[in-house]
Structure 1
Amino acid sequence: MIYTWPSPAKINLFLYVTGIRSDGYHYIQSLFQFLNYGDTLKIIPNKTGNIELFTEKKLFLKKTNTIIEAAKLLKSKALYYEKTNCTTLGAKIFLNKKIPIGSGLGGGSSNAATVLVVLNKLWRTKFTLQELAKFSLNIGSDIPAFIMGKTSIIEGIGEILHPIEREEKWYLIVYPEIHVLTKNIFSSSLLKSKTQKKPIQLLLTSPFSNDFENIVSNKFKTIKKLLSILSLYAPTRMTGTGSCVFAEFNDKTSAQKIFSLLPKNMKGFIAKSVNTSPLHHVFYKQNKHIFN
């Protein structure tokens, strides 16, 4: 039986804020692209009734995060909808963290999605992916896209997904070691104007940009400098609300060449984009025989 599962990173190839709801949630349009890079989660189900999370050093984490929230949410929904009558559903979860926190790469949302998808099978709670995606909005707006597992244009507050096929590229992702809190950026007084909502075809044929890039780069000069340097060599943008900056290349060699030109202490990695989430690739390839 397989216990270790991918929890991939993502980048936003574009990100626009098109409105705001009365409850404070923002309407967006974004192109959500998976990378063949990310965290891994070892998930071992049990009948203790407890959800326990450990780091890669096997240290028990007591604080609540998206992983714990996701497992508890699935259990509560399973009991509510009578998918199970078992209150002893439990799991030990071991996190091997590679995606930086506060980087705009979606680490916390990806972790939650992997937990929901995998435990749904291991616990045999039999929710559909669509049902899991709907539940997951209680935790974070990026999670539905990770659950559905396809390159998509995202609309609404994250619940409307339009899967697309896109040419797979190579990306140099640079992390400036700045932790950006998404909620602070979304609530920024500088986010005054709204981008007009566009039809999907126009979104894909218009130049890509990120409505948060100027706000964040003006606040963090290191990010502004990174954008300036990398844009000399390739199309460059910030992902999400930051702090990671990515440059797009047609091949791995070109990405490596530019990476080698950056200061040696600059943290980053090179990854290929994929149209199907690595989690889905593993899950559906082996799902026929790993749970029996």
Structure 2
Amino acid sequence: MTEHGTPRASLDLPAPAKLNRMLHITGRRADGYHELQTLFQFLDHGDTLRLALRQDGEISLTPDIAGVPHDQNLIVRAAHLLQSRHGGTLGADIHLEKHLPLGGGLGGGSSDAATALLGLATLWGLELSLEHLAELGLALGADVPVFVHGRAAWAEGVGERLTPVELDTPWFVVVHPGIEVATPTVFQAPELTRHTPPITMARALQGGAPDWRNDCEATVRLHYPPISTVLDWLARRAPTMLTGTGACVFARLADEQQADRLLTEIDGRWRAFKARGLNRSPLHDVLDR
């Protein structure tokens, strides 16, 4: 039985980006999915969802996203899933202010879905646990639970087995090379490294080479030369890595001033932004207020 509180009229909520501070592929399962070990961390940069209560049960989403049919958008799917599981008769008008690139490896779609789940549960007065919402989110995508729980995490399995961690919180410059990476292309590539020996979380948290690397990077470089160009350019200036399967690449900086100087060097060559690493999602900060 779902407990009900008081519905809210409207909410403005962040859907933050994530970085994979390291990503190892330790095996391939019989179902074709890959076993991973990764460290997730949030950024103080992302999309924004504006939710307004409707009484008629309808779910609307604006604006349309090119190439993504309305009913296949993860935000709409999250809303309908929450409605169907909890007998909801309320609806919502949802406006997405999109800042994160599609196919960028920043978790934009997963973060949007998680913000929709938590935001609509609040908007509709559903008193649901984070564990339950994360379980719903897993049906939408392997990365959704980390955004629901809202804590930097060590992740294993397909990325769904999460242990909260505390990571350093440097400044980053994130660069998008202007192309979109198809994740299936990367994971289906025959040359992809799939048998990295598993390491312990304690070893991963030490943060040293060669553990803090992304096993997808060599394959992405091969199939997407513009990303290889960005990786090489950034690596001459700061420690640099691909996030997820890309296309975004991030450089770790000591402080905001270094991040600003690097952005000046980029000078419009690629789309780029600076952000601070966060161990707690800004979505949870807003909901707690």
TM-score by length of 2: 0.91
Question: Within 1, Cα distance between the matches of 2:115 and 2:235?
Answer: 33
Q: Say whether 1:11 aligns with 2:7.
A: no
Question: Within 1, Cα distance between the matches of 2:72 and 2:157?
Answer: 27
Paired position in structure 1 for 2:49: 41
**Aligned Cα root-mean-square deviation (Å):** 1.6
Contact 1:56–1:95 at 8 Å: present in 2 too?
A: no
Paired position in structure 2 for 1:289: none
For structure 2, list consecutive stretches of 5 or more residues without a partner in the other structure.
Answer: 1-8
Contact 1:50–1:91 at 8 Å: present in 2 too?
A: yes
Bigger shift: residues 104-113 or 185-194: 185-194
**Counterpart secondary structure, 1:280:** helix
Question: Within 2, Cα distance between the matches of 1:65 and 1:268?
Answer: 25
**Counterpart secondary structure, 1:161:** strand
Contact 2:10–2:123 at 8 Å: present in 1 too?
A: no
Q: Say whether 1:247 aligns with 2:251.
A: yes
Contact 1:56–1:97 at 8 Å: present in 2 too?
A: no
Question: Within 2, Cα distance between the matches of 1:56 and 1:69?
Answer: 14
Contact 2:11–2:119 at 8 Å: present in 1 too?
A: no
Return the offset for 1:190. 2.0
- Identity fraction in percent: 40
Question: Within 1, Cα distance between the matches of 2:158 and 2:127?
Answer: 26
Question: Within 2, Cα distance between the matches of 1:264 and 1:18?
Answer: 37
Return the offset for 1:264. 2.7
Q: Which deviations, in whole Å up to 9, do the C-alpha atoms of 1:31-75 show, x marking residues without a partner?
A: 101000000000112221211101299xxx735210011111111
Q: Say whether 1:220 aligns with 2:220.
A: no
Q: Say whether 1:64 aligns with 2:72.
A: yes
Q: Say whether 1:97 aligns with 2:98.
A: yes
Paired position in structure 1 for 2:108: 107
Return the offset for 1:192. 4.9
Superposition map of 1:74-89 within 5 A? 74-79=82-87, 86=88, 88-89=89-90
Question: Within 2, Cα distance between the matches of 1:102 and 1:136?
Answer: 19
Return the offset for 1:263. 4.7
Return the offset for 1:2. 5.1
Question: Within 2, Cα distance between the matches of 1:192 and 1:213?
Answer: 10
Paired position in structure 1 for 2:268: 264
**Counterpart secondary structure, 1:173:** strand
Return the offset for 1:183. 2.3
Question: Within 2, Cα distance between the matches of 1:155 and 1:226?
Answer: 28
Question: Within 2, Cα distance between the matches of 1:36 and 1:263?
Answer: 22
Paired position in structure 1 for 2:147: 146
Q: 1:153 to 1:138 in 2, by over 3 A?
A: same
Equivalent AA in structure 2 for residue 282 of structure 1? V
Question: Within 2, Cα distance between the matches of 1:186 and 1:47?
Answer: 43
Contact 1:134–1:159 at 8 Å: present in 2 too?
A: no
